[in-house]
A = this chain, B = another copy of it.
């Protein structure tokens, strides 16, 4: 009864104040500069397809030109030279890949060289599920939206000659090769090869299939090809050597490294053409079925409305009230970013490619892909478990499918390839965390077996290189690996801790003991001299000489991956008490932790130290430091502007950090159900829980936050005063209310 009344009130107030919906707060430009590597183009929730403006090719885009530097995004906000709209894209990653199937509308004579047809653009608009701009050279307005597997574009052509190019040569990926065929004057089908994420494992390059359909039949169509430049004797007879060539009216497959296809029109009046591009990782037939089943006879505008509605449904699982409007933009954009990856791999009919060999398999659930687990094990999956437990369940099931298919859990899985990027063995951490949070509708025994396999199998283990030393000595040495012996030891510790926690829950006592013991072996790398971790050599001696600062700014070093001793030492949140003891107690611990920030060693742009700001909570009386630090970091690094992410979004990990932080809770210890608490940024946060998993409809977090009130005076759970700055997941999801009394 009360529920109904509340609903009426909500409806009423919407009408009265024309209240903005969550979806209206999202600014997809956030993260498109400062190497955030997010894209402003439309994408459905966890969509396979997005339509990203592609503006990173060509010297006019220097210095952020894709081939002249390490650049891992199809779109950079500062760039100005657009050469198409790519239809499969990665968001917030650190390595160039995908960014292919480029569509580009132009006018006038046919020109297929992107350096010549490229143009500046204006009137950029980016909203959830929608992107628009005007191509300056052609006076074409472009609009784009997307369903899960289909990119939908609308080109407003002026009168006269018009072209729609599908460029399969150009791409963000450095993989090459494509096949394309004009099926009819309204349809094109093709394959583009992609792969070699992080310039690695090119042998696992794989095809992405597409079908493009056009609302108006082309007056002319054709294909182009830019062949390899021949050298030597034959070159002199080849007038066309290395030159792009047009094959007009061609209706057969064209294959090669640099090819494309075009539809050409002559319009007697300004005309709108809608183009739909369906994608599949299984087959052209599936790409066509995806297109037809998802967009059927729907117009662009209908698809856009549905895309927005669907996004709003997801974003509305957390409703925020009060606080700064700016913070709402930051919050909902961050939440939006956490709903992009992992994304859907399977086709509409459930088919998807098996790991590596890519045989066609079928799933009834959603098969997710893009598991950047070294990043996301820290907070993104914890957010999913809390807000979208059904999705999180499917993600775990996808990990187990990957195990079934490849023999191993994923590490950095991308479209059914295991890129083995970064270190550690993170899948089990997520699985344990998920299970312990009460999401248990997956085969936990299989999961456990998979976790133990990677923890114990010394030979031929792709997930845990150096495992022999780790098991025998307790750590990797400077001989075991030339990069990150300490980091990797820590990662394995956390994974072992996760196994121990799950073992405990499953009643596997001896495993619990064994892995609990293994999980704290990092302690052997703690050097009292520096009160920091330090690499050890094969003979057990310390790496000498030693500069703990070395490794900052991604400098390669023996002990640490993408970081240094400062940024890694506290990355033992499963053993904070242990670390405290090593350091000499709470006080030295707090001092050393504060040093990280004061000495400029804290790196908000990368994952190892991402939980540091919350660690002051472990020392009674020091919690305000956490509240202060988190607030400052949110303010400094998260902004409503293209440079509004600290760096690579890391498939939503940075954004998940912001979402949790702004709600006042943070899953500080992965594979453990405890959240730590800091001050929220809104007066009211309503989390609509999934009753299927949590039995409750919602959790309401309230606070008197204001510009003045930033520090926690009291925390109430279900109306009762709460001791300390930690809360268990089960307590939280049953709490119904979490009240903050803040003060200056």
Measured CB to CB, the closest approach of chain B to A635, in angstroms, equals 35
Measured CB to CB, the closest approach of chain B to A160, in angstroms, equals 25
Check A234 against B177 for contact (C-beta < 8 Å). Answer: no
Neighbouring B residues of A255 by C-beta, 8 Å: 177-179, 191-193, 207, 255-256
- CB of A621 within 8 Å of the partner chain: no
Q: Chain A 153-194 against B: per-residue CB contact (8 Å), 1 yes, 0 no?
A: 000000000000000000000111111000000000001110
- CB of A556 within 8 Å of the partner chain: no
Check B177 against A240 for contact (C-beta < 8 Å). Answer: no
- CB of A668 within 8 Å of the partner chain: no
- CB of A239 within 8 Å of the partner chain: yes
Check B177 against A257 for contact (C-beta < 8 Å). Answer: yes
Check B249 against A357 for contact (C-beta < 8 Å). Answer: yes
- CB of A252 within 8 Å of the partner chain: yes
Measured CB to CB, the closest approach of chain B to A30, in angstroms, equals 28
Give the interface segment out of A198-206, A260-268, A623-631. Answer: A198-206
- Copy count, this protein chain: 2
Q: Which residue of B lies closest to A65 (CB)?
A: B233
- CB of A70 within 8 Å of the partner chain: yes
Determine the distance from Cα of A252 to Cα of B358 in the docked complex, in whole angstroms: 6
Give the interface segment out of A46-54, A223-231, A313-321, A418-426. Answer: A223-231
Q: Which of these, B239, B257, B358, contacts A256 with CB under 8 Å? A: B257
Neighbouring B residues of A206 by C-beta, 8 Å: 250, 252
Q: Which residue of B lies closest to A178 (CB)?
A: B255
Measured CB to CB, the closest approach of chain B to A491, in angstroms, equals 23
Q: Chain A 488-516 against B: per-residue CB contact (8 Å), 1 yes, 0 no?
A: 00000000000000000000000000000
Check A247 against B205 for contact (C-beta < 8 Å). Answer: yes
Determine the distance from Cα of A254 to Cα of B237 in the docked complex, in whole angstroms: 30
Check B256 against A176 for contact (C-beta < 8 Å). Answer: yes
Q: Which residue of B lies closest to A359 (CB)?
A: B251
Which of A69, A249, A256 has the largest count of B CB atoms less than 10 A from its CB? A256
Check A259 against B177 for contact (C-beta < 8 Å). Answer: yes
Measured CB to CB, the closest approach of chain B to A742, in angstroms, equals 48
- CB of A305 within 8 Å of the partner chain: no
Query: Given the known A-B contacts A178-B255, A203-B246, A207-B252, are A233 and B357 also in contact in the complex, defined by CB atoms under 8 Å?
Result: no
Q: Which of these, B174, B237, B254, contacts A238 with CB under 8 Å? A: B174
Check A257 against B232 for contact (C-beta < 8 Å). Answer: no
Which of A69, A232, A247, A253 has the largest count of B CB atoms less than 10 A from its CB? A253
- CB of A68 within 8 Å of the partner chain: yes
Neighbouring B residues of A259 by C-beta, 8 Å: 177
- CB of A245 within 8 Å of the partner chain: yes
- CB of A592 within 8 Å of the partner chain: no
Q: Which residue of B lies closest to A282 (CB)?
A: B252
Neighbouring B residues of A230 by C-beta, 8 Å: 174
Query: Given the known A-B contacts A251-B357, A353-B252, are A240 and B191 also in contact in the complex, defined by CB atoms under 8 Å?
Result: no
Determine the distance from Cα of A384 to Cα of B236 in the docked complex, in whole angstroms: 38
Neighbouring B residues of A250 by C-beta, 8 Å: 206, 356-358
Determine the distance from Cα of A583 to Cα of B233 in the docked complex, in whole angstroms: 44
Neighbouring B residues of A357 by C-beta, 8 Å: 249-251
Check A240 against B68 for contact (C-beta < 8 Å). Answer: no
Determine the distance from Cα of A202 to Cα of B178 in the docked complex, in whole angstroms: 18
Check A202 against B240 for contact (C-beta < 8 Å). Answer: yes
Measured CB to CB, the closest approach of chain B to A51, in angstroms, equals 23
Interface size bracket, A side: 35 or more
Q: Which of these, B68, B176, B209, B225, contacts A205 with CB under 8 Å? A: B225
Check A176 against B227 for contact (C-beta < 8 Å). Answer: yes
Which of A174, A196, A248 has the largest count of B CB atoms less than 10 A from its CB? A174
Measured CB to CB, the closest approach of chain B to A129, in angstroms, equals 30
Query: Given the known A-B contacts A205-B225, A256-B193, A259-B177, are A199 and B69 also in contact in the complex, defined by CB atoms under 8 Å?
Result: no
Neighbouring B residues of A227 by C-beta, 8 Å: 175-176, 202, 257
Query: Given the known A-B contacts A68-B233, A196-B240, A238-B199, are A191 and B247 also in contact in the complex, defined by CB atoms under 8 Å?
Result: no
Determine the distance from Cα of A196 to Cα of B204 in the docked complex, in whole angstroms: 32
Determine the distance from Cα of A193 to Cα of B253 in the docked complex, in whole angstroms: 8
Measured CB to CB, the closest approach of chain B to A357, in angstroms, equals 4
Q: Which residue of B lies closest to A358 (CB)?
A: B252
Neighbouring B residues of A246 by C-beta, 8 Å: 203
Determine the distance from Cα of A247 to Cα of B207 in the docked complex, in whole angstroms: 13
Query: Given the known A-B contacts A204-B247, A207-B252, are A233 and B69 also in contact in the complex, defined by CB atoms under 8 Å?
Result: yes
- CB of A67 within 8 Å of the partner chain: yes
Neighbouring B residues of A252 by C-beta, 8 Å: 206-207, 353, 358
Neighbouring B residues of A193 by C-beta, 8 Å: 254-256
Q: Chain A 264-301 against B: per-residue CB contact (8 Å), 1 yes, 0 no?
A: 00000000000000000000000000000000000000
Neighbouring B residues of A191 by C-beta, 8 Å: 179, 253, 255
Which of A67, A199, A204 has the largest count of B CB atoms less than 10 A from its CB? A199
Measured CB to CB, the closest approach of chain B to A667, in angstroms, equals 34
Which of A177, A256, A257, A357 has the largest count of B CB atoms less than 10 A from its CB? A177
Check B254 against A257 for contact (C-beta < 8 Å). Answer: no
Determine the distance from Cα of A261 to Cα of B462 in the docked complex, in whole angstroms: 26
Q: Which of these, B192, B228, B233, B245, contacts A176 with CB under 8 Å? A: B228
Determine the distance from Cα of A421 to Cα of B547 in the docked complex, in whole angstroms: 73
26 residue pairs of the A-B complex, CB under 8 angstroms, read: A67-B234, A68-B232, A70-B233, A70-B234, A174-B234, A176-B227, A177-B225, A177-B254, A177-B255, A177-B257, A179-B179, A179-B253, A193-B254, A199-B238, A202-B227, A202-B240, A203-B245, A203-B246, A203-B247, A205-B225, A205-B247, A206-B250, A228-B228, A249-B356, A249-B357, A252-B358
Chain A residues with CB under 8 Å of chain B are 67-70, 174-179, 191-193, 196, 199-200, 202-207, 209, 225, 227-228, 230, 232-234, 237-240, 245-257, 259, 353, 356-359
Sample of 19 further A-B pairs with CB below 8 A, known A178-B255, A179-B253, A203-B245: A70-B237, A174-B230, A176-B256, A176-B257, A177-B225, A177-B255, A177-B257, A192-B255, A193-B256, A200-B239, A202-B245, A203-B240, A203-B246, A207-B254, A209-B253, A251-B357, A251-B358, A252-B358, A255-B255
Q: Which 4 pairs between the two chains have the least Cβ-Cβ distance?
A: A177-B256, A177-B255, A199-B237, A203-B245
